[in-house]
Amino acid sequence: MSEAAAAARKPASRPPWRCGRFALTLDRPLVMGVLNVTPDSFSDGGSFEEPTAAVAQAERLIAEGAAILDVGGESTRPGADPVPVPAELSRVRPVVLRFAHEDVPISVDTRHAEVASACVEAGASIINDVSGFRDRAMVDVAAGCDAGVIVMHMLGEPATMQAEPRYDDVVREVGGYLVAQATMLEAAGVDRERIAIDPGIGFGKTLEHNLELLRRLPELAGLGFPLVVGVSRKRLVGALTGVEEPRERLGGSVAAALAAARLGANVVRVHDVAATVQALAVQLALAEE
C-alpha cells in the first residue's frame, strides 16, 4: 500500500483528552482499571476495602498496563445504599494521595462534589461522575479545576434505575443527554478538551437497551467527545452467557471491551486489566496492515 493510501486509512487524529497535568492521546484505546474501595461493589466488594489491599491492587493494575486508574468509594449497583461523604472520602483519598505523583492519571468515581473536590486537591486528574454532573456543586468543582471529566448517563438514581426503564430511541436519547450535559459544562467554564462522555451501560437500561447502545456505539463516538465505555463483569455479560458469578465473567467482559474499542470507544473501563490489554494488543495488530 502506498504511503498516501496508508495515511488515508488512518483514523482521523483527535485532540488529546486533557486531564490535569496529563494529555491523553486517543489514537488507540486506553484501558481504565477499576479499583473499588468498598464493602459492597457488585463484583469485587470487600476485596480492596483495607488501604493496604487497595494500594496493592492499584499497583497491580498499573503494572498490568492500566492507562488510567478509576478509584471509587461508593457502589452504584442497583439498590446500593448511599455512603456518607466522610466514609467515602476516607476510602478513596489515601489511594489518590499515594498515586498522585505517578505517571498514571487517577480518576475518582464519585457523585459527591465534596469528594471530587478533595480528591482533585489530593492529586486526582479525572472526575468520573455517574450522575452526569446533574448537581450544580459538582459542576462548580469541575469549573474550578483543570481535571478531565467523564459525563455518564444514568436514568434516575441507583436505587430505582432498573425499575422499568423506557426509551423511544435509547441511542438518540442517551446521546442527546450527554451532549446537553457537555454543553452545559462548557458554558460553566469547563474546556471542551477536558470532557469525555459515557453511555452508562447498565445504569437504567434493559438488556436490549444495553445491546442497542453497544451495537450503535459509532453514533456516540461521532458526537465529538472522547468515549468511555464500561461493560466489565456487568449483568449484561451474565445475561448473555448464563454466568451468575461476576468474577467469572472474564471472557464475556473481554469480548465486550474488544467490540467497544472496535466500534469507537476511546477508553474501556475494566476490572481485569491484564487480559484486556493483551486482547486489545492482538486486535490492534490484526487491524493494522
What residue ranges bind ligand HH2 (CB under 6 A)? 34, 36, 38, 41-43, 72, 75-77, 109, 128, 130, 150, 152, 198, 200-201, 228, 230, 269
* Residue 39 neighbours by CB under 8 Å, 6+ apart: 45, 46, 49
234 is catalytic: yes
Beta carbons within 10 angstroms of residue 111's beta carbon: 24
Residue 151 per-residue DSSP state: E
Known catalytic membership, residue 192? no
Please, which residue, 76 or 117, has the CB nearer to ligand HH2? Answer: 76
Contact predicate 1/289, CB 8 Å: yes
Instruction: Return the number of other C-beta atoms located less than 10 Å from residue 39's C-beta.
Output: 13
Cβ at position 137, least distance to ligand HH2 in Å: 19
User: Which of 216, 233, 234, 249 is flagged as catalytic?
Assistant: 234
Contact 217, 260 (CB under 8 A): yes
CB of 54 to ligand HH2, least distance (A): 13
Which CB sits closer to ligand HH2, 69 or 228? 228
Active-site position among 18, 194, 205, 269: 269
Which residue type is seen at 171? V
Backbone phi and psi for residue 229, each to the nearest 5 degrees, phi listed first = -135, 130
Q: Based on CB atoms, which residue is closest to ligand HH2, 34 or 119?
A: 34
Element (H, E) at 32: strand 30-36
> CB 211 → ligand HH2: shortest distance, Å?
15
Closest chain position to ligand HH2 (CB): 230
Nearer to ligand HH2, 44 or 123 (CB): 44
Give catalytic residue positions: 234, 269
